[in-house]
């Protein structure tokens, strides 16, 4: 029996020999990819934590009428913007300031929105609101919701090129004329109409154009009855008693909306056919409303807000004129006045109130 020889120093025995297998190229690639993935997984949570939260943008809403009277618009505007991704408290914050019908308070409230560093201001209704906001700031974007004769009022240079920090919606020029046409259709013997309007040079000029057009095309005489504040309502109603018009048109204005109850009471007592620019007044007993569609106004306003918050300049955003009109008739009020609503109006009405 032979005795195994001891292994030579430094030389491994066959059983202990380790063979080095070269790493294939594809394995190297897989290993590198795995290491990168692990590194990214480790870094990603830190990056996510390091991302800043979206800046809260402040939306100021300035209104002339009592805030309760425009709650439907502001509520729907918030809902529309929420659907567009603007979460209240995370992306946007709202501040609604109301002058409660007092025009003299508008400059103070507009200045308050500027002091609170609003990112944009929505001027809710009428020229005076937008004018007060523009006097308070020429840098913060202002979106008007229902101006009348925006160019004539000096709010914008032109509808296509506003040229400043104001843009938004303006009432179509033809709305007043169309209201007259509808009222003439309802009252065929119509020869004289009173138009209740808040005193304002641009509004008076705008309604003056409608007045001339109505006399020329419809052979209807129009009397403009103006008031500047709630204190003037008594005198305005007395003027209507003296004029004895065959119908009354109440123009679109937050102040007149605020005074809707005494105006309604006067018209019902005098059996005076009345038309409004806000459908809610017809729900409360008014005869007829032919107005802008509030859903369209809301959608357009939200679109302006979205574009401005994303960096668009008001000077580059053409003023828009809503095109959809809404006809609402209170049949109960018509019957109480002995008026028969023609089928032509019944078939076109968006809503009939029994």
**Residue pLDDT, tens place only, 154-206:** 899 999 999 999 999 998 877 888 898 899 999 988 889 999 988 765 555 55
pLDDT attached to residue 189: 85
pLDDT of 144 strictly over 90: yes
Distance CA(292)–CA(77), nearest Å, equals 16
Q: Strand 92-98 to strand 57-63: parallel, antiparallel, or no bridges (unpaired)?
A: parallel
pLDDT attached to residue 106: 93
Which contacts (CB < 8 Å, 24+ apart) does range 231-238 have?
232/199, 233/259, 233/262, 233/263, 236/196, 237/262, 237/263, 237/266
Average pLDDT over residues 345-351: 94
pLDDT attached to residue 16: 47
Distance CA(73)–CA(61), nearest Å, equals 11
pLDDT attached to residue 171: 85
Average pLDDT over residues 26-49: 52
Helices and strands, counts by H and E, the chain: 13, 12
Q: Which residues of 328-350 are buried (b: 16+ CB within 10 A; e: fewer)?
A: bbbeebbeeeebebeeebeeebe
What pTM does this model have?
Answer: 0.75
**Chain segment 53-86, per-residue pLDDT in tens:** 678 999 999 988 766 667 777 888 999 999 999 9
Q: What are 6's two structure tokens?
A: 């001891």
């Amino acid at each position: 029996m032979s005795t195994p020889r001891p292994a030579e120093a430094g030389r491994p025995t066959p059983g202990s020999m380790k063979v080095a297998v070269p790493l294939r190229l594809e394995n190297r690639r897989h290993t590198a990819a795995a290491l990168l993935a692990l590194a990214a997984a480790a870094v990603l949570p830190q990056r996510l934590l390091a991302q800043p939260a979206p800046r809260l943008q402040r939306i100021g809403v300035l209104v002339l009428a009592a805030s309760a009277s425009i709650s439907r618009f502001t509520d729907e505007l918030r809902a529309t913007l929420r659907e567009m991704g603007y979460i209240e408290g995370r992306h946007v914050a709202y501040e609604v300031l109301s002058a409660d019908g007092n025009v003299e308070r508008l400059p103070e409230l507009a200045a308050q929105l500027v002091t609170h560093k609003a990112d944009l201001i929505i001027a809710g209704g009428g020229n005076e609101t937008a004018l007060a906001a523009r006097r308070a700031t020429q840098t913060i974007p202002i979106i008007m919701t229902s101006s009348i004769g925006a160019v004539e009022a000096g709010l914008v240079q032109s509808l296509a090129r506003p040229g400043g920090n104001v843009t938004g919606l303006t009432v179509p020029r033809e709305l007043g004329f169309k209201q007259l046409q509808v009222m003439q259709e309802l009252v065929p013997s119509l020869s004289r109409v009173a138009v209740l309007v808040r005193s304002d040079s641009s509004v008076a000029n705008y309604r003056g154009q409608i007045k001339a057009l109505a006399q020329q095309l419809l052979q209807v005489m129009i009397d403009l009855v103006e008031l500047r504040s709630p204190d003037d309502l008594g005198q305005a109603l007395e003027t209507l008693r003296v004029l004895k018009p065959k119908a009354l048109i109440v123009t679109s204005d937050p102040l007149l909306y605020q005074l809707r109850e005494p105006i309604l009471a006067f018209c019902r007592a005098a059996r005076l056919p009345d038309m409004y620019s806000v459908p809610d007044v017809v729900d409360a007993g008014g005869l007829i409303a032919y107005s802008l569609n509030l859903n369209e106004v809301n959608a357009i306003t939200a679109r302006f807000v979205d574009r401005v918050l994303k960096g668009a300049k008001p000077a580059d955003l053409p003023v828009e004129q809503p095109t959809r009109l809404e006809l609402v008739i209170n049949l109960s009020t018509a019957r109480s006045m002995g008026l028969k609503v023609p089928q032509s109006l019944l078939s076109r009405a968006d809503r009939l109130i029994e």
